[in-house]
Amino acid sequence: MIFQSFLLALQQTGDPKFRKVLFLGIGLTFALLVAAYAVVLWLVNGLVGDQVTLPLIGQVTWLNDLLSAGSFFLMMILSVFLMVPVASAITSMFLDEVAQAVEDKHYPTLPPVPGVSFWDGLKDSVNFMGVLIAANTLALIIYALIPPASVFIFWALNGFLLGREYFMLAAMRRIGREGAKQMRARYSGTIWAAGTLMAVPLSVPLLNLVIPILGAATFTHIFHRLAERAPRS
């Protein structure tokens, strides 16, 4: 079910309505990545000075080298970590448009979506982002203690967190927050596995730019497929 949902999301890239959201999402994803990278360089600049020398890259300065070739490669390396909060932000921004495009094509008989209020959506987005950043910051300690397992811990942790967010956002559009929580608890293993499927390519530079939108589409399919299995009350 997970891979079939992902393949359906990939196949819809030929749909003009979906493609428009995909390209806009890629553009904003890259812009947010650059902004997050600039903040990281600014923080490093404040901690260790204007110049930092890195293996294979050489000296990197904050303002002068922000758009240089060396800095671009550094940004691609850091995107392995920076793309997790960026993906969270992009998913929150575009989930409704992506889900609507998916439902228009694959689930045309559904009634109009009740939707989520702006303030509820904003609160959920901030909460998700805070949990992601806090969990990944704490995980740095574990990465340092057991380096050989760090990549698998990274995928498992962010697969759990991103799966939770993707699914909750997709489900709340149709069944509200409480219904989404109950359904998430019932199918937690499937949601975690699907989130990990998103987390793995998020750690691949450049490929990770398309994952937030494709992930939103994938989880829209997953929600509807799980909803068909859910026991009726």
Q: What is the mean pLDDT of the chain?
A: 81
Give residue 181's pLDDT: 92
CA distance to 38, 60, 65, per residue, from 72 (Å): 11, 10, 9
pLDDT at 59: 57
Report the pLDDT value the prediction gives residue 114, as an integer from 0 to 100.
Answer: 73
Are the CB atoms for 221 and 5 separated by under 8 Å? yes
Look at residue 53 and tell me whether its pLDDT is greater than 70: no
Tokens for 91, please give them: 């998913």
Q: How many CB atoms lie within 10 A of CB 54?
A: 12
Separation of alpha carbons 158 and 195, rounded Å: 7
Beta strands in the chain (DSSP E): 51-54, 58-61
pLDDT-derived band at 196, boundaries 50, 70, 90: very high
Chain length of the chain: 233
- Residue 34: the pLDDT is 79
Q: How do residues 70-116 score in pLDDT, each as one tens digit? A: 566 667 777 777 788 888 888 778 888 899 999 999 999 998 887 66
Task: Report the pLDDT value the prediction gives residue 204, as an integer from 0 to 100.
Answer: 86
Q: What φ, ψ does residue 53 adopt, rounded to 5°?
A: -105, 125
> Comparing 33-42, 64-73, 155-164, which segment has the lowest mean pLDDT?
64-73
Predicted confidence at residue 222, as pLDDT, reads 96
Which residues does 37 contact at the CB level (< 8 Å), separation at least 6? 66, 74, 75, 78, 79, 82
Q: Is the pLDDT of residue 224 over 90?
A: yes
In this structure, of 30-39, 44-53, 180-189, 203-212, the range with the lowest mean pLDDT score is 44-53
Q: Which amino acid does the sequence have at 10?
A: L
CA atoms within 13 A on the CB side of 67: 1
Q: What confidence tier does 56 reach under pLDDT thresholds 50, 70, 90?
A: very low
